[in-house]
Chain A
Amino acid sequence: MAKITIDGKTIEVENGTTVLNAARQLEVDIPTLCDHPELTPYGGCRLCLVEVEGARTLQPSCTLPVSDGMVVKTETEKIREARKFVLSMIFSERNHFCPYCQVSGGDCELQNSAYAEGMTHWPIQPNWHPYSVDASHPFIILDHNRCILCRRCVRACGELVGNFTLGFEERGADSTLVADLGLPLGESSCIGCGTCVQVCPTGTLIDRWSAYQGKETDVETTKTICLGCSVGCGIDVLTRDNRLVRIEGDWTATINHGLLCDVGRFLPMVEERERILTPMVKTDGKLKAATWDDALKVAAEMISKHKGNLDGVTSTRVSVEAMAQLRNLCEAFDAKSLLTTEDCQAVSAIYHQASSDQSALEGKVEDLLDADCYLTFGEDITKDHQVLSFFAKRRIPEGAQVIQITDKVSGFDNFATITLKVKEKSLADFLIDLKDLISGKSGDMALIAEKYSLDKDELQSTLDALQSSEKSVILFGSRFDFSNSDAVVSATRSLSQAANAKLITTKGNINSVGAAALGYEGAGKVQADLLLMVLADEDLTQCIEQKFEKAPKRVVFSSYVSPLTAGADVVFPVENWLEQDGHIINFDGHILEQHAALESAPEVYSNSNAIEKLASILNVKNNTDWKKELDKFTSPVKIA
């Protein structure tokens, strides 16, 4: 512990604490620019200079560790002059013109710093040399004129996302932010996660879609979760006049700690599907607008007529509340099966395995944060559950091993320390053999390498990595549809036990776990004549749509027009993901809350309320408590 006095206030802090963080604990405000709470201190901007008693010069507080008895001043005339000088130098380094900048007027940390110092003008002229603007990226614009060389983006890209796309070339005032070795951002290895945009203190990195649509003071912020995949990242949804402006990662979220991928941050901004705003009923072979009352009546008649001959289908983007209600309604009419719109049986297989094991064996998201060996197979996690891949990739510089088993091109190709090209159909066998090797049951490495046409040394390194690891994680995907799903899942479980590795399976879509917990199976063969479908706002693949189009009759709840609504008998408009509240269960069993950020059009109800309306006209009482239902099957992961 070290005692430090800042502006007359004394505090005892842990050794190694920076003066800046000690000041924050004392609620002493020191201005900063290059510092970001989620990033390693860098000491680049010099705005946080403080006077340390006994030190010859002013010291940057963000990188200065406290020492016992240190006496620090943060508000002397000398410091204020230094800050103004630092800001003057920063303004003169590039071309910062506030009237035509996206972040001016509250969102710019550089401008705010200048205001705080009462700067009315720039004592030193700007650079006047034009710097390039890189607009090659579909989501991000990079304007070098506004760059203050703070390297927050570089640190975020490496330390948080583990992608290492951004870096700097040249030195001093010539320093330039570059992607890869100088490629345009849009052609670089950038994965478009936008974390750099979120941490940029100026208007250097801005997001194309929300640019000039409103400052943070003009918008309302709603904390909710992303429904892009099963990770369940916390997001801040910025809206203005009931219009989506931007999505940002929620730094306080327990799952993603502020990180997002392109699917979560940018893709919702380009929603172009046609919205359904009124109920529709098929009359004379064509869908015609109807009132809720009429449409409900037609749907109720169809359901009554098809008692015992209907299937319930839910999108995995639907809340557990709505899933439970749909199940309740389906059970009242003796539904043949309860299906999800998920095109594979992975989650069902994982659940079946858990039931036969009778235990929740899997690890939690925290286990990914500090592992030293990651073994991944079953999907390209860098595409389908991206944020989880960040946690593995960013550990590589610290010596973590990332081993992938795949015979396809993968986003891990440039990062993985070892790639084992095992054919998909022999994956289960290979996992069993690997397990035997690890547990010492069978020792013939050469034979096994030959069996799967693998490099013997690579297989040996895999074994060494898993055996010498202090904390290894098996990151098992769920975008596979092997004919032997159950065998792969069971082999994965036994391998994780043999290797003493934490097992984490990605489990499909946002609420796949909720669906499985309530007894829904992956989309199999349609058996009944009537499908009662809650498609919500899901954008289904053609393949899955064709599967359901085979059913002769359909009652559909959907936010958007799709082939499945076009051929339906009754269509009910429902709210999209940003318009409703609810609960979902993510891949590692967290029950997450979804909050409405936008108001829906009149006559458009939440999935849950819309099902409720149908149930009440059919006299089906909703008396299921979904929380109690979750324990019905053994879950592969602890739900809480």
Chain B
Amino acid sequence: MAKPTVASDWLGGCAGCHMSFLDIDERIVDLVELVDLRATPITDLKEPDKAGVTVGILEGGITNTYNEEVAIRMRERCQILVALGDCAIFGGVPAMRNFFTLEEALTRAYVETPSTDASGKIPANPELAKMTLVRPVHEIVKVDVFVPGCPPDADIIFYVLAELAQGRIPKLENNNLMWN
């Protein structure tokens, strides 16, 4: 039987969940024996195989139209979709901007911060993705496994991946269930 394939991508997050994934340290050697790690944002291959992967992992929330596209593409190309971390599941820190209008958030970021001034310009290139309300991934596509945490502990990530690699759906409970 071929090894299950795994691809990951990140949306509106901080890459911290991927860093936490790398914190599984030498256990990554065990992991690659069990699974075929395909496209990730931290490897050469960036997009999940058109042929599809067994497990797709998404970090970060949906903050704009590009995130929506990436989420939909991942959903289409994977059998089991994992939402990794609080941003993917709850919106996380980026969702704090939901309490302001997009204009207020952009003005704050490009004009009002200590390192910008009134000459700061809010990017307006039509090719840029359109910002939206920050939402969890499951508001856009169906999610099969939720792994909360900010970031999820490396041990929890290893447990989830090890279970998936062995064809089981991980159940997060007790000490493995942490939202923060």
Contact = CB atoms under 8 A, between A and B. Distances in A.
Interface of A: 95, 97-101, 104-105, 111, 114-115, 118, 120-122, 125-126, 128, 130
A121 B89 contact: yes
B89 A120 contact: yes
Nearest to B143: A121
Interface string B138-175: 11000100111010000000000000000000011100
A270 B135 CA distance: 41
Nearest to A128: B98
B24 interface: no
Contact of A99 (B93, B99, B133, B177): B93
B92 interface: yes
Contacts of A128: 98-99, 133
A126 B92 CA distance: 12
A122 B178 contact: no
16 contacts: A95-B99, A97-B91, A98-B180, A99-B86, A100-B93, A104-B180, A105-B178, A111-B179, A114-B179, A118-B171, A118-B173, A120-B147, A120-B148, A125-B136, A126-B91, A128-B133
A90 to B, nearest CB: 14
B6 interface: no
Given A99-B92, A104-B180, A120 B138 contact: no
B150 A99 contact: yes
Given A121-B148, A122-B89, 10 more contacts: A97-B92, A99-B150, A101-B180, A111-B179, A118-B172, A118-B177, A121-B90, A121-B138, A126-B90, A130-B99
Contact of B86 (A98, A115, A126): A98
B105 interface: no
Contacts of B139: 125
Contacts, number: 59
A217 to B, nearest CB: 12
Interface in B8-34: none
Contacts of B91: 97, 126
Contacts of A111: 179
A120 B177 contact: yes
A184 B23 CA distance: 46
B106 interface: no
A97 B148 contact: no
Contacts of B179: 98-99, 104, 111, 114
B95 interface: yes
A122 B173 contact: no
Nearest to A114: B179
A146 to B, nearest CB: 13
| 5 pairs of A and B residues whose beta carbons are closest in the complex | A120-B146, A130-B99, A99-B150, A98-B179, A104-B180
B178 to A, nearest CB: 7
B83 interface: yes
A97 B177 contact: no
Contacts of B147: 120
Given A121-B136, A121-B138, A128-B99, A97 B90 contact: yes
Nearest to A123: B138
Contacts of B177: 115, 118, 120
B135 A125 contact: yes
Contacts of B100: 130
A98 B99 CA distance: 16
Contacts of B133: 128
Chain A interface SS verdict (over half): loop
Interface in B29-51: none
Interface residues of B, number: 29
Contact of B180 (A105, A118, A122, A126): A105
B180 A121 contact: no
Nearest to A115: B177
Most chain-B CB neighbours within 10 Å: which of A98, A121, A125?
A: A121
A381 B84 CA distance: 56
Most chain-A CB neighbours within 10 Å: which of B91, B147, B172, B180?
A: B180
Most chain-B CB neighbours within 10 Å: which of A104, A128, A130?
A: A128
B99 to A, nearest CB: 4
B84 to A, nearest CB: 12
Contacts of A100: 93, 96
B126 to A, nearest CB: 27
A492 B144 CA distance: 75
Nearest to B87: A99
A252 B63 CA distance: 49
A122 B99 contact: no
A97 B95 CA distance: 9
A98 B92 CA distance: 9
Nearest to B149: A99
A476 to B, nearest CB: 51
A457 to B, nearest CB: 56
Nearest to B89: A121
Nearest to B147: A120
A97 B91 CA distance: 9
A114 to B, nearest CB: 8
Contacts of A125: 135-136, 139
Interface string B68-106: 000000000000000100100111110110111000000
A122 B95 CA distance: 14
Contacts of B92: 97, 99
Contacts of A101: 180
Nearest to B93: A99
A97 B86 CA distance: 9
Contacts of B93: 99-100
B175 to A, nearest CB: 10
Contacts of B98: 128
Most chain-A CB neighbours within 10 Å: which of B148, B150, B179?
A: B179
B104 to A, nearest CB: 11
Contacts of B89: 120-122
A95 B91 CA distance: 11
A266 B100 CA distance: 34
Contacts of A121: 83, 89-90, 136, 138, 143, 146, 148
Contacts of A114: 179
Contacts of B83: 121
A75 to B, nearest CB: 16
Contacts of B96: 97, 100
B98 to A, nearest CB: 5
A178 B75 CA distance: 46
A115 B177 CA distance: 7
A122 B91 CA distance: 11
A100 B148 CA distance: 14
Contacts of A105: 178, 180
A101 B180 CA distance: 9
A248 B150 CA distance: 29
A138 to B, nearest CB: 26
A354 B166 CA distance: 82
Contacts of B135: 125
Interface in B92-134: 92-93, 95-96, 98-100, 133
B10 to A, nearest CB: 17
Contacts of B90: 97-98, 121-122, 126
Contacts of B138: 121
B99 A120 contact: no
A269 B148 CA distance: 35
Nearest to B95: A97
A636 to B, nearest CB: 54
